[in-house]
Amino acid sequence: MYLWLIFIHAVSAMVSIGPFFVLIPMLSKLRTAEGAVLNSYLDSFHFTVRLSKHTGHVLVASGLLLMWLGGWPWSTPWIAGTFIVLFASLLFMARAFSPTIRKLRQPEHDRKLLVNKLSRALYMYMFVLFVMLWLMIMKPTLW
């Protein structure tokens, strides 16, 4: 069972991070897209955020089960660090994507400002995801 949990944990990490790479080329297209095409790109962003959120639930649940079954204490530096970064990323994700996507759907908006904000949020969030991935794979001794 433990090996299956590791597999589920790894797949949910890949599905949580992977779709964000597809959004990178869409950023430049968002700058000029109009009408149905714009909505299509925004729908892709919205879907990716929702997918990441739901696979994140699987990731956390499988991680907690792995901790419990593996006997890892909460005080383990890489586990504590991962959860600190995780909670910070949840607050960031809630404010970074959906409000900006909603504003881009409104008829009167500053496209350049909002796409720049979305771009910055995308790269920052990917960085945070990679920090968590690094903590889980490298298991550094932080203290």
At 51-109, the pLDDT tens digits run: 998 998 999 999 999 999 999 999 999 999 999 998 888 888 778 888 999 999 998 88
* Mean pLDDT for the chain overall: 92
- Confidence (pLDDT) at 3: 96
33 lies in some domain: yes
Question: What CA–CA distances, in Å, run from 83 to 37, 46, 90, 109?
Answer: 38, 24, 10, 36
33 neighbors 41 (Cβ within 8 angstroms): yes
Q: Compute the distance between CA of residue 13 and CA of residue 7 in angstroms, rounded to an integer.
A: 10
103 lies in some domain: yes
For CA atoms 50, 55, 58, 61, the dihedral sign is negative
Compute the C-alpha angle 73/82/98, nearest 5°: 140
Q: Compute the distance between CA of residue 49 and CA of residue 95 in angstroms, rounded to an integer.
A: 12
143 lies in some domain: no
pLDDT digits (tens, 9 = 90+) for 97-117: 889 999 999 988 899 999 999
75 lies in some domain: yes
- Confidence (pLDDT) at 58: 95
In single-letter form, the type of residue at position 78 comes to: W
- Confidence (pLDDT) at 95: 81
- Integer-rounded Cα radius of gyration of the chain: 17
- Residue ranges making up the domain that contains 114: 2-138
66 neighbors 9 (Cβ within 8 angstroms): yes
Give the chain's end-to-end CA distance (angstroms, integer).
Answer: 31
Total of domains in the chain:
1
139 neighbors 78 (Cβ within 8 angstroms): yes
Q: Is it the case that residue 135 has pLDDT exceeding 90? A: yes
